[in-house]
Amino acid sequence: MTVEQLIHALAAKLEAGGVFFGHGTDNAVDEAAELVFFSAGLRHEQAPQCYGWLLEAAQIATANALAQRRIVERLPLAYLTKRMWFAGHEFYVDERVLVPRSPIAELIDAQFQPWVEPSRVRRIVDIGTGSGCIAIACALAFPEAQVDAADLSPEALAVTRINIERFALETRVRALRSDVFSGLNGERYDLIVSNPPYVSHAEMDELPTEYLREPELGLRAGEEGLDVVRRILAGAEAQLSEHGVLVVEVGDSEDALAAAYPTVPFVWLEFAQGGGGVLVLTAQQLAASREVLK
């Protein structure tokens, strides 16, 4: 069987199995391709020339076994392969962290321009870092910056440290245990980035099984999905430098947040590669809205 033949065979198997696609892929063919490339030890850069290559029986068996687990256990694909790409970089992931999939990757690629002046960014913090993907991608995009990767979960921070070591960034990225800003010791940052929990109780009840395989701590955020976001907004001003900027993803809680703070001048970003629910506020805007946000 060739690479292409196995991709299509597994795609049909995944579709028939009724799995949910939403962790970096949105269709069966792309997910089957990752299964085949992983099982065969191929690089995605080798496509399309490798599509006609013949696979060994062991490679085919491995891919089929993973596809079967994907269907039966409803595990996100990244938990089976222990890898996921974010902002063009490959990260280690497992069940201790959410699968990276934030549109913030597009902002990192652009060095958050025009919202920040890249040459002025010397300190960055990622709140709710999980695998460390946002923090590490920011460190790679801003090679002069020091980056703090903060999370409440010791289990998540263990994964963060794996990725810090993989990218040899021990001198510029540190993993910190912090409940939002509580563990940052009053540090001030030029850029605060966060993809925090923002799923409401009602939304949690409706999530596909694949999402329920992820850590609940990284998803559930109260009745409106705003419990953690409110704390970030309330504390961000004190953690930002004078020219600092706050970037937060709130996903489907965008409308609820805008309704909760109608006078706050949120800037809601649009993305060429899809996604939304990401806001930007400057330190000055946070200061002007201090009484509303506290």
Q: If you search the block for the tokens 């800003």, which residue do you land on?
A: 181
* The pTM of the whole model exceeds 0.85: yes
- 274 to 24, 44, 251, 263: CA distances (angstroms): 12, 22, 12, 27
13: nearest Cα among 26, 24, 1, 29: 29
Q: What is the pLDDT of residue 274?
A: 84
Residue 124 corresponds to which tokens in the numbers above? 């960055």
- The 3-state DSSP class for residue 189 equals strand
Residue 48 tokens, joined: 């399309």
What Rg, from alpha-carbon coordinates, does the chain have? 20
Q: What is the pLDDT of residue 171?
A: 98
Residue 111: count other Cβ atoms within 10 Å of its Cβ: 17
Contacts of 243 (CB under 8 A, 6+ apart): 117, 120, 190, 282, 283
pLDDT of residue 273: 86
Over its length of 294 residues, how does the chain's per-residue pLDDT go in tens digits?
Answer: 999 999 999 999 999 999 999 998 999 999 999 999 999 999 999 999 999 999 999 999 999 999 999 999 999 999 999 999 999 999 999 999 999 999 999 999 999 999 999 999 999 999 999 999 999 999 999 999 999 999 999 999 999 999 999 999 999 999 999 999 999 998 999 999 999 999 999 999 999 999 999 999 999 999 999 999 999 999 999 999 999 999 999 999 999 999 999 999 999 999 988 889 999 999 999 999 999 998
The answer to whether the beta carbons of residues 273 and 103 sit under 8 Å apart is yes
Tell me if 232 sits within 8 A of 196, measured CB to CB: yes
- Tell me the pairing of strands 83-86 and 89-92: antiparallel
CA dihedral 68, 69, 73, 77 (to 10 degrees): -110
**DSSP annotation string for 51-68:** TTPBPPHHHHHHHHHHHH
CB contact burial 8-27 (16+ within 10 A = b; e otherwise): ebbbebbeeeebebebbbee
Contact present, 108 and 100 (Cβ < 8 Å): no
The span from the CA of 232 to the CA of 234, in Å, is: 5
Q: How far apart are CA 165 and CA 176, in angstroms?
A: 15
